[in-house]
Structure 1
Amino acid sequence: MISIFIIFAVFILYNINRLTFSLCLQKEIPEEKQPKVYRTINVLITILLISSFVEIAFT
């Protein structure tokens, strides 16, 4: 179960980063602000994935 969830999480993070890249291009976010945008989105998605795993694993 853990390996399936890890594969799923990597797939989700990859797609979210692609969408973030598209957002940065479309909204013309300056280069110096892009790392902060990526970091914020990645941290929030990681928290969401961890809480989802905990909920699935312990229920």
Structure 2
Amino acid sequence: MTAFFIAFALFILFYINTLTNTLCIQKEIPDEKQPKVFRTINVLITILLISSYVEVLFK
């Protein structure tokens, strides 16, 4: 179960980063602000994935 969830989480993070890159290109976000956008989204998605894992683990 853990291996499946880790593989799923990595796929989700990769896909979210692809979507974030598309957002930055579409909205013409300056290059100096892009790392902050990526970091914020990655932290929030990681928190969401960890909380989902904990919920599944203790259910």
Class of the TM-score when normalised by the shorter of the 2 chains: over 0.9
1:17 to partner: Cα distance: 0.1
Which stretches in structure 1 are left out of the alignment for 5+ residues? none
Report the equivalent of 1:34. 34
Report the equivalent of 1:10. 10
- List, as ranges, runs of 4+ consecutive aligned residues in structure 1 with deviation greater than 3 Å: none
- Offset from partner CA, 1:5-45 (integer Å, 9 cap, x none): 00000000000000000000000000000000000000000
Report the equivalent of 2:58. 58
Aligned length: 59
Root-mean-square deviation (CA), in Å?
A: 0.2
Which stretches in structure 2 are left out of the alignment for 5+ residues? none
Aligned identity (percent) is 71
- What is the TM-score when the length of structure 1 is the normalising length? 0.99
Report the equivalent of 1:46. 46
